[in-house]
Amino acid sequence: MTTRFPTRRAALAAALVASSSLLAGCGALLIGGAAVGTAMVLNDRRSTGAQVDDQTIESKAADLARQMFGDNARVSATSFNRTVLLTGEVPTQDARKAIEQQVARLENVRATVNELGVMPVVALSVRSNDTVLTSKVKAAFVDAKDLDSTAVKVVTTRGVVYLMGRVSEREAKRATDLARNVGGVQKVVRVLEILSEDELARLRSAGASGGK
C-alpha cells in the first residue's frame, strides 16, 4: 500500500482521495478534487468562478503539453475546483515531473494529482476501450436510483477509472462500488472531495452558484 500527495497539499487538506484496486485490494490516499462536465453547470457543486477557472486551466494545460512534448506524449488534464488530475503517458520520469511542475504554476491551480505513466503512448485500441469503459460506468451511475450521476466525473486511462467530484462519504462508496463492478475495469481510483451532508444540503439550496 502506498501513500501519495499532490502539489500544494495544504490547500485542500479537507479533501479525500482513495485508490481501490480490484485485483490487489490495496488503497492509496491522495488529496484532490475533480471536474464535472460543463453540460451539467446547473447541477454543478462548484462555484461559477471555479467552473470558469477549471475550463481555463484545462485549456492552458493542454497547450503546455503540446508545446513540451508534441506527439511524443499524451497528456490529459482534468481540473475540478482548481485541482488538476494528469493522466496519459510521457516518455521519461523527468518529463512526468516537468509537466506537473508547469501545470502547478498555472494561474488558479491549487493542487495537482499526477497519474501519468512513464511509457510509450498507448494504441488507439486501448484509448477506444477506455472510452467504452467510461460510457459503461456513467450508464451504471445513471441507472442507480440512489446516486446523483451528475455529481461524479469519470475519466478512464488504460483500464483505470478515476472518479472525481464533490460528494458525501455515502456517494463516494456507492460510486466506487458501481464502477468496480463494470466489466473490464482494472482499478478504481477515487479523486474525491468529501463533503458532509450538511455542506451538500447548503450547496443544493444555493444552487452551487456565485462566489470564488
Question: Could you read off the pLDDT of 161-188 as tens digits, one per residue?
Answer: 999 999 999 999 999 999 999 999 999 9
Whether 211 maps to a domain, the answer reads no
Whether 4 maps to a domain, the answer reads no
**Which of 155, 209, 176, 189 is closest to 45 using CA atoms?**
209
C-alpha cell recorded at residue 11: 490547500
Q: What is the CA radius of gyration of the chain?
A: 16
Whether 3 maps to a domain, the answer reads no
Whether 1 maps to a domain, the answer reads no
pLDDT level of residue 34 (50, 70, 90 thresholds): very low
pLDDT digits (tens, 9 = 90+) for 121-157: 999 999 999 999 999 999 999 999 999 999 999 999 9
Whether 21 maps to a domain, the answer reads yes
The reply to whether the predicted model has a pTM over 0.75 is yes
pLDDT digits (tens, 9 = 90+) for 69-98: 999 999 999 998 898 999 999 999 999 999
Q: Is the dihedral of CA 91, 53, 140, 31 positive or negative?
A: positive
**Eight-state DSSP code of residue 184:** T
For the chain, the distance separating the N- and C-terminal CA atoms, rounded to the nearest angstrom, is: 36
Whether 88 maps to a domain, the answer reads yes
* Host domain of residue 153: 9-206
**Eight-state DSSP code of residue 117:** E
- Grid coordinates 479525500 are at which residue? 16
Whether 127 maps to a domain, the answer reads yes
pLDDT digits (tens, 9 = 90+) for 40-55: 455 788 899 999 999 9
Whether 2 maps to a domain, the answer reads no
| Overall number of domains in the chain | 1
